[in-house]
Structure 1
Amino acid sequence: MRFAANLSLLFTERPFPERFAAAAAAGFDAVEFLFPYGFPAETLAAELNANNLALALFNLPPGDWEAGERGIACLPGREAEFRAGVDRAIAYARALGNRRLHCMAGIVPPGLDRAMALETYVGNLRVAASACLDARLTLLVEPINTRDMPGYLMDRTTLAREVIGRVGAPNLRLQLDLYHAQISEGDLATRIRANADLTDHVQIAGVPDRHEPDSGEVHYPYLFEILATTGYDGFIGCEYRPRGRTEEGLGWLAAWRAGIDRSGLDRS
């Protein structure tokens, strides 16, 4: 397993640019984050290079995050803004060297028919996937549970499979967040196996409190083994909220690595 620290949630005791060095010092080989747009791409690229870190992915612009928007891909009338955001994200990806972008679907506002939101989403994904294909990038969709994000359109892996099939783009894939999947659907081992053909990125957190993955109701070492049996060789994004200082809660990562060392097995 290759673990990527999500710098939007981890190492938040530090200013964002300082989190890259902290992640490298903690033993991570890669990072991810929600959005890079508050910083010049050159600044972030310098931090990645200085700390020898790969960048797993980040999100397309989400609309007005402070006002509660969580993506605009499903919102009719915002297509031009969405397409401008795709171009901006591709420019950042080229500068930062990552190959994956996640498109947040958005929250269906009151009064908007869900079927219309879904049609708008599919249309925008076709445009985004085409632009990403030209840029040799993979576009991802992620089901997010509606307990944490009420009204979010893309809420289940079954819907993700439907949407990916309708769009029909070879570079549109699944971002499987096991925290969200457990809350929305459960049966995670079956979910992993059933979606192995589409999964291009995985994220983890403890359930139900979204703390370290060694707490709560999900036994991640077992799921890592399931992922290995499916042939998954991508990143595991660590998108959780630490109970305290980030470094103090990384015992789960040390234990996993020690287990690999003791077994003598190479699961990279």
Structure 2
Amino acid sequence: MPRFAANLSMMYTEHDFLDRFAAASADGFEAVEYLFPYAYDAKELRRRLDDNGLRQVLFNAPPGAWESGERGIAALPGREAEVRSGIERALEYAAALDCPRVHVMAGLVQPDATPAQSAKHRDTYLANLAWAAERAATMGVDILVEPINGRDMPGYFLNRQADAHAVVRDVGASNLKVQLDLYHCQIVEGDLTATLRRDVPTGRVGHLQIAGVPDRHEPDVGELNVRHLFGVIDDLGFDGWIGCEYIPRAGTSEGLAWLTDYRGENA
């Protein structure tokens, strides 16, 4: 049966951030993910995890100037020193939180980039990911890349699953993997069942995420047949986590009927 992690950046926002751990645990979650831990002391985050019997399964490396609109810097030439510093900081938190995965965001690029500029972005991305994967491997941590749809994040460097898998193959590190967000994938290219059946068996998919399409609410609201998709994931023997990275429509706990029903059906 698939395992679900609450995304504390989007879920339980009716609570202060540090109180979201307890709220997620009370609803039966055994794991959490979120965007960034860096505003909080790692020891305090560790305490919240331990006090509530939770596992930390994912967070992002520092993304550059997030408040100013940056969405990662790993594909941006000239920012290599900042990327490396950010990876080191992320791995310090990963060690403190016993978190086995760190997502490294690529960044935004100009839509009219020339082929030479695009190639430079990709070369920079590959070099930064290779360094990050080598550094993370010594700590037993996987580095993840995620294709993100251009409607929610215009200009993001990585949009399609095939491109993400090509990046992973070209770097050639066993601990560099793809974060397959079914919400983003449905918006960009669809064909989710075939995508799961094609990519999960390769071993290159390190984490899944889910949200309803098109409005990013509960995963059973909108055009996705989530019970079918969960069945496909189960049949494929995926042993990672599915991050619930969605925006509840009217209270997080009140919107968890989809998960309660699914757990009841598969008890």
TM-score by structure 1 length? Answer: 0.96
What is the aligned partner in structure 2 of residue 40 from structure 1? 41
Pick the aligned partner of 1:241 from 239, 247, 255: 247
1:168 to 172, 182, 187: 172
2:212 paired with 1:210: no
Instruction: Report SS of the residue matched to 1:176.
Output: strand
Whole-Å separation in 2 of the counterparts to 1:111 and 1:250? 42
Name 1:255's counterpart in structure 2: 261
Output aligned runs, 1:93-242, within 5 Å.
Answer: 93-109=94-110, 112=113, 113-196=117-200, 197=202, 198-242=204-248
Unaligned runs of 5+ in 2: none
Tell me the amino acid that sits aligned with residue 23 of structure 1. Answer: A
SS at match of 2:208: strand
CA distance in 2, matches of 1:89, 1:59: 8
**2:150 & 2:125 partners in 1: Cα distance?**
17
Q: Within 2, Cα distance between the matches of 1:148 and 1:101?
A: 21
Shift of 1:136: 1.1
Distance in 2 (CA, whole Å) between partners of 1:221 and 1:70 is: 32
Query: Which residue of the partner structure matches residue 26 of structure 1?
Result: 27
**Equivalent residue number for residue 5 of structure 1:** 6
Q: Distance in 2 between matches of 1:37 and 1:240?
A: 21
Letter in 2 for 1:128: A
What are the Cα deviations for residues 70-92 of structure 1, in whole angstroms up to 9, with x where unaligned? 00001110000000000000000
Residue in 1 that maps onto 2:53: 52
Q: Which amino acid in 2 is paired with 1:17?
A: L
CA distance in 1, matches of 2:179, 2:98: 19
Q: Deviations over 1:5-52 (max 9, x none)?
A: 000000001110000000000110100000000001001000000000
Distance 1:135 1:87 in 2: 11
User: Percent same amino acid at aligned positions?
Assistant: 54
**Matched pairs, number:** 261
Aligned counterparts of 1:233 and 1:170: Cα–Cα separation in 2: 17
The 2-side partners of 1:4 and 1:242 are apart by: 15
2: CA distance, partners of 1:174 / 1:111: 26
Q: Secondary structure at the match of 1:149?
A: coil
C-alpha separation between the residues in 2 aligned to 1:20 and 1:84?
Answer: 28
TM-score by length of 2: 0.96
CA distance in 1, matches of 2:29, 2:112: 44
Structure 2 distance, partners of 1:96, 1:140, is: 17
4+ residue segments displaced more than 6 Å = none
3-state secondary structure, aligned to 2:144: strand
Structure 1 residue ranges without an equivalent (≥5) = 262-268
Distance 1:111 1:213 in 2: 34
What is the aligned-residue RMSD (CA, Å)? 0.9
